[in-house]
Amino acid sequence: MNSIKAPIITIDGPSGSGKGTISQLLASKLGFHYLDSGALYRLVAMAAKRHGVALDNVEALAVLAAHMDVVFEMDEEGGSPKVVLETEDVSDLIRGEEVGAQASRVAAFPEVRSALLQRQKAFAREPGLVADGRDMGTVIFPDAEVKVFLTASAEARAERRHKQLIDKGESGSLRDLVEKVESRDERDRTRAVAPLLPAQDAVTVDSTALSITEVLDAVLNVVAQRLKIQVLTRH
């Protein structure tokens, strides 16, 4: 068990699987803290661009990762947390396709991952933590009490991203998005450090054909069983 008494729930999975949405809903329902680890890598990529640091300058990227001025401000009503980089609200900016692609490149460097390790571990505190990412259950919190691996088909994840872009008034080819999703999956699965793989003791939930409510209910059932607590699912 982890040395921190606060229970830790990790939700890992590929881009577009719904782990961010589910993790936020779960944290809100349980009253737990929330860690969006993917945002940290996006922030490193964004900070690098702003400070003129090349994405292959590993040493400089690691320094940025360790020292960048970042604040996560939780929404008291359970909405998405505000992400502040160097006093600027970048919550929407870090969700762009370009930043996501750059974040995937940055995340492949062991030095950057190491620099962010302690920042992520510091999120674990009372009354509990829901951590969402790609290596939460395997590397960052290997002793977490509850581990979920949330997945979905590449097509379903690309369709979700396509809908998000349309809702924002942006355009994008669905075929191109499918290719980007598959390319990122391959890059994340095959990187040398912390590849995207489910932890051996994780419960896999496939969200391809499920609604958000159905996925949340499935995850809540896993949490209830592992933590031996009663949680009310929504029907």
What distance in Å separates the CA atoms of residue 188 and residue 22, rounded to the nearest whole number?
Answer: 21
- Looking at residue 171, the DSSP 8-state letter turns out to be -
Are the C-beta atoms of residues 144 and 9 closer than 8 Å to each other?
yes
What's the longest Cα–Cα distance across the chain? 50
How far is residue 104 CA from its own chain's centroid?
A: 12
The pLDDT value recorded for residue 39 is: 92
Please, what is the Cα angle at 34 between 140 and 42, to 5 degrees? 70
The pLDDT value recorded for residue 45 is: 96
Q: How far is CA 231 from CA 35, 169, 220, 224, 228, in A?
A: 21, 38, 7, 6, 9
The pLDDT value recorded for residue 144 is: 96
**Domains of the chain (ranges, CATH numbers):** 8-223 (3.40.50.300)
Residues lower than pLDDT 70 in the chain? 1-4, 76-79, 230-235
pLDDT tens-digit profile of 36-50? 998 999 999 999 999
